[in-house]
Amino acid sequence: MNNWASFFLFLNFLLVFSLLIYLSLENWGYYKILEDFPLMLSLSYILLAITAFYMIKYILVFFVAWIFKTQAATESYFLNILLINQTTGIILLPILVISVYNPTLNLILSAWILLILFSLFKIIRGAYLGYKTLDFSVYYLILYLCAIEFAPLILIIKLTRNTLTA
């Protein structure tokens, strides 16, 4: 994130991910939640929530790296996450542009499938980097993945589901 191109590619990922969530809510029958807010305000809320999630995650992981003195491995892990997120944003952009003008369920589902595949690749690649560079046991690696990667996502999904159904 120390040059402009990297910053704008990550911003592209955040915007594309926000647009994917908005289009998904709109096409899967949750448009009643969105109709009270203007389009830009809804997208801004979604963008702010995603940005806050990534900022809290980065701060938490850097804090853990500071405690365990693993700054070098953490930087390579974040570079891995950054590059995969940037690539995901570039690949999903044309799909979402087409989906804005011609909204079909197949396009949105394919975008979600690509996002999930890239996220799984990101987690597997991060686990491989952590296992290779730090010589941790597999138990600690699984514990890390459950605490840092999966738990926040499950919490966000549960909170979102409760909010949308209420």
- Model's pTM, two decimal places? 0.76
Q: What is the pLDDT of residues 36-62, one digit of tens each?
A: 778 788 888 889 989 988 888 888 888
Q: What is the pLDDT of residues 100-122, one digit of tens each?
A: 888 788 899 999 999 999 988 98
Residue 94 identity (one-letter amino acid): P
Q: Domain range for residue 106?
A: 4-165
How many structural domains does the chain have? 1
Q: Which residue from 41, 17, 37, 5 is spatially nearest to 92, judged by alpha carbons?
A: 17
Quick one: 113 exposed, middle or buried, by C-beta within 10 A (0-12, 13-18, 19+)?
Answer: exposed
